């Protein structure tokens, strides 16, 4: 299998309130982690969610699949690594892997299918995609 080529990496620390009664991160919090990592990547490209919304463009997740491999506990340090690629005319796929640091243990893997709505209709608007495609793999 080909090694994943990540375009972004964001570090986190587990906070106590993210853990459930079993002392591990509640599975729903993983969605927060991967969403925040995607948003930070887009913001680093100069894509402003609030400004886009005002223009009638909303970036949305259509489908999220997460495979949980190993738990995280309070105060664990971890990194979310994200790899993006275009799929077809209307989808941007984001593969996001969560690794505990410093041992680099794979904690979870997510596949997020995203698109945009422009005035309520599915689209990948040119102003957004021009910024994104500059950093996508050439095979995308």
Q: Which residues are catalytic?
A: 20
Instruction: Report how far apart the first and last C-alpha atoms of the chain are (Å, whole number).
Output: 17
Distance CA 55, CA 75 (A): 40
Tokens describing residue 13: 């620390």
Helix (H, G, I), strand (E, B) or coil at 117: strand
The answer to whether the CB of 33 falls within 8 A of the CB of 66 is no
Distance CA 29, CA 33 (A): 6
Tokens describing residue 17: 């309130």
């Amino acid at each position: 299998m080909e090694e994943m080529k990540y375009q972004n990496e964001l570090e986190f620390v587990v906070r106590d309130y993210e853990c459930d009664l079993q002392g591990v991160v509640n599975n729903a919090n993983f969605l927060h982690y991967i969403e925040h990592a995607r948003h930070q990547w887009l913001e680093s490209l100069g894509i402003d969610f609030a400004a886009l919304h005002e223009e009638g463009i909303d970036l949305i997740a259509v489908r999220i699949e997460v495979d949980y491999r190993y738990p995280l506990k309070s105060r664990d340090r971890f990194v979310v690594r994200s790899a993006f690629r275009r799929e077809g005319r209307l989808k941007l796929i984001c593969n996001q892997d969560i690794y505990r640091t410093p041992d680099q243990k794979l904690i979870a893997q997510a596949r997020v299918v995203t698109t945009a709505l422009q005035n309520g209709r599915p689209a990948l608007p040119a102003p957004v995609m021009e910024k994104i495609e500059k950093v996508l793999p050439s095979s995308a």
